[in-house]
Chains A and B, each alone.
Chain A
Amino acid sequence: MTLGIELLESSAFVLQGGFLDGVRTLLQPNTFVEQTINGLQRGLVLFLIASGLTVILGILDVLNLAHGELYALGAFIASSVAGYLIGSSGLMAPPTSFDPVMSFAFVGVLILVALITALIMLPIGAVVETTLIRPIYDRSQTYQLVLTFAILLIIADLLELIWGSQPIGASFASQQAVNDIPTFELIGFGNVPSLVAMIIVVSLLVGAALFWFFSRTKTGRIIRATAIDREMATALGVSPDRTFTLVFALGSFLAGFAGAMQFVRTNAQPGMGESALVLSFVVIVVGGLGSLRGAVVGAIIVGILENWMIVINPEFQTAAPFAVMVLILLVKPEGLFGTWGERT
Chain B
Amino acid sequence: MTPGLEREDGSLRIRLMKGLVVSPLQLLGILVGIGLLFALPDIARSTENLPIRERPIYRGMVLGLAAVGLNLLLRHADLVSFGHAAFFGTGAYTTAILIQFYEIQSVLILIPMAIIAATLMAVLIGYFTLPHEGLYFALVTLAFGQLLYSIPRGIGELGGTDGLNVLAPSQPGTSVLDRFPRLGDIALTGSDIENSILFAVTIVVSLIMLLIMLRISKSPFGRALDAIGQQRTRARFLGLRVKRYVWAAFIISGFYGGVAGALYAIFFTSGVSPDETLQVFVSGDILYIAILGGFNTLTGPFIGGIIFEVLANIASDFELTGPGGTKEIGRMLTGIVLLIIVFVFPSGVVGSLKRGGKVREAGVDLKNDPSLIGPWLSQAASGTVAAAKRAVENVRILLLGVK
Distance (whole angstroms) from the CB of B90 to the closest CB of chain A? 15
B366 within 8 Å of A by Cβ?
no
A284 CA to B330 CA, complexed, in Å = 31
B109 within 8 Å of A by Cβ?
no
- A149 and B284 contact, CB distance less than 8 A: yes
- B324 and A151 contact, CB distance less than 8 A: no
Distance (whole angstroms) from the CB of A313 to the closest CB of chain B? 9
A196 within 8 Å of B by Cβ?
no
C-beta contact mask, A128-148 vs B, less than 8 Å → 1, else 0? 001110011001111101110
B188 within 8 Å of A by Cβ?
no
Interface size, chain B (Cβ < 8 Å): 62
Question: Which interface residue of A3, A10, A139, A150 has the most chain B CB atoms within 10 A?
Answer: A150
Distance (whole angstroms) from the CB of A159 to the closest CB of chain B? 8
Please name all residues of chain B whose beta carbon is closer than 8 Å to the beta carbon of A318 when the two chains form the complex. Answer: 150, 153-154
Count contacts between A and B, CB distance < 8 Å. 158
**Contact partner of B338 among A153, A158, A242, CB < 8 A?**
A153
- B327 and A157 contact, CB distance less than 8 A: yes
**Contact partner of B154 among A163, A282, A289, A317, CB < 8 A?**
A317
**Contact partner of A63 among B138, B281, B291, B397, CB < 8 A?**
B138
**Contact partner of A315 among B138, B146, B155, B281, CB < 8 A?**
B155
B341 within 8 Å of A by Cβ?
yes
**Contact partner of B325 among A164, A316, A319, A330, CB < 8 A?**
A164
C-beta contact mask, B377-400 vs A, less than 8 Å → 1, else 0? 000000000000001001101110
The interface-forming segment of A86-94, A226-234, A320-328 is A320-328
Interface size, chain A (Cβ < 8 Å): 63
B100 within 8 Å of A by Cβ?
yes
- B154 and A322 contact, CB distance less than 8 A: no
B288 within 8 Å of A by Cβ?
yes
Q: Given A127-B395, A141-B80, A281-B143, is A146 in contact with B342 using a C-beta cutoff of 8 Å?
A: yes
- B143 and A163 contact, CB distance less than 8 A: no
The interface-forming segment of B50-58, B126-134, B209-217, B231-239 is B126-134
**Overall SS of chain A's interface:** helix
Nearest chain B residue, comparing its CB with the CB of A246: B398
- B395 and A130 contact, CB distance less than 8 A: yes
A1 CA to B80 CA, complexed, in Å = 38
- B346 and A145 contact, CB distance less than 8 A: no
Nearest chain A residue, comparing its CB with the CB of B281: A274
- A141 and B135 contact, CB distance less than 8 A: yes
- B339 and A319 contact, CB distance less than 8 A: no
Please name all residues of chain B whose beta carbon is closer than 8 Å to the beta carbon of A141 when the two chains form the complex. Answer: 80, 134-135, 138
Please name all residues of chain B whose beta carbon is closer than 8 Å to the beta carbon of A3 when the two chains form the complex. Answer: 97, 100-102, 157
Q: Given A142-B80, A319-B147, A322-B146, is A1 in contact with B102 using a C-beta cutoff of 8 Å?
A: yes
Please name all residues of chain A whose beta carbon is closer than 8 Å to the beta carbon of B146 when the two chains form the complex. Answer: 278, 281, 322
Distance (whole angstroms) from the CB of B254 to the closest CB of chain A? 17
C-beta contact mask, A159-171 vs B, less than 8 Å → 1, else 0? 0111111000000
Which B279-301 residues have a C-beta within 8 angstroms of A? 280-281, 284, 287-288, 291, 295
- B147 and A326 contact, CB distance less than 8 A: yes
A101 within 8 Å of B by Cβ?
no
Please name all residues of chain A whose beta carbon is closer than 8 Å to the beta carbon of B138 when the two chains form the complex. Answer: 63, 141, 145
Nearest chain B residue, comparing its CB with the CB of A153: B335
Q: Given A130-B394, A139-B346, A151-B335, is A319 in contact with B150 using a C-beta cutoff of 8 Å?
A: yes
A7 within 8 Å of B by Cβ?
yes
Which B119-172 residues have a C-beta within 8 angstroms of A? 128, 131-132, 134-136, 138-140, 142-144, 146-147, 150-151, 153-157
A1 CA to B100 CA, complexed, in Å = 10
- B280 and A274 contact, CB distance less than 8 A: yes
- A157 and B331 contact, CB distance less than 8 A: yes
A168 CA to B322 CA, complexed, in Å = 16
Distance (whole angstroms) from the CB of B356 to the closest CB of chain A? 18
A165 CA to B102 CA, complexed, in Å = 40
Interface residues of B (CB under 8 A from A): 74, 78, 80, 82, 97, 100-102, 128, 131-132, 134-136, 138-140, 142-144, 146-147, 150-151, 153-157, 280-281, 284, 287-288, 291, 295, 320-325, 327, 329-332, 334-336, 338-339, 341-343, 346, 391, 394-395, 397-399
Q: Can you list 15 residue pairs at the A/B interface with Cβ under 8 Å?
A: A10-B155, A126-B398, A136-B342, A142-B74, A143-B342, A145-B82, A147-B338, A150-B339, A157-B331, A160-B327, A163-B323, A164-B323, A165-B325, A285-B139, A329-B128
